[in-house]
Structure 1
Amino acid sequence: MKSIHVAATINGDPAEFVCEPQETLLDVLRNRLGLTGVKEGCGTGDCGACSVTVNGRLVCSCLVLGGEVQGAEIGTIEGMADADRLHPLQQSFIDNAALQCGVCTPGILVAAEALLKKNPDPTETEIRYWLAGNLCRCTGYDKIVQAVQDAAQQMRGA
């Protein structure tokens, strides 16, 4: 099979890579571009550990082929923080002890950021619904939901 040349924007920076037609975006991000914050959990789109945004839409990168993102804007966990400080969601997860082993956390943070961009004042039910595609076996979801609520409040300036 013939390799595919792809040009995209990743975390705000132009990027180019070559991938095989069957290679997933998850594999490209981790193995070709060194963005190892994107985790592989299930490989079938059921756990959310590999969540990224493509053109602002939340997706499981294990279900997207690398060649499909030609010209797209991709956001990963590595693009959340500023150079000098954590994103409010990241800080809130630390403050609320909403993370443990770290496998699911990047995907949950990317999903939560996508939610807050769409709805800066979500209810608890909306947060739980939005994050339902992200599985966590360590923390339980109450601390995660509280962290998202706290970050949302801070980001609104309340």
Structure 2
Amino acid sequence: MARPVRQGSGRARWRAALPHRAAPASAERLKERSEEESMCDHQTSPQTTTVSKVLCGLNVEIFTYPSGEVLLRTVDAYPVNRNDWHGPYADAAQAEADFVDRHALPVLTPEDVRRRRLNGTLSKTREYGEMILAFHRWTGATCLTPFIVRPEARA
């Protein structure tokens, strides 16, 4: 597969040209096509929908295909890969549940806390107290994350 031609010096423009970034453009094309179909026959043509809402303090878009499959992404979040489309999900409720689950604070047992202190993945910060180094479950990036300690927790 040929690599896209780089236009300008911005890495974001170059990455946007990659095939895996095509979901938003495809979604818009599907929406335009379905709007054209709906003008012809309101009874038989399926509709695509895009819903914006706030989940876990972040603006998200939920896009529904005519087949019922759903994609979800954050809007204007940093880092940029946080804005990638995730899915497909069976329905919007499943997409929202997955998003909320991936943004929940990790739950650790006292034994996990002790182990993380020994191996250096738990440390104390000036502003936020103790935090762990973990993979972000939405972006896959490593980040410092606050956590919850529960004796009965299954991490």
Structure having greater relative contact order (Cα 8 Å, sep ≥ 6): 1
The structure having more radius of gyration, on CA atoms, is 2
Structure with greater helix percent: 1
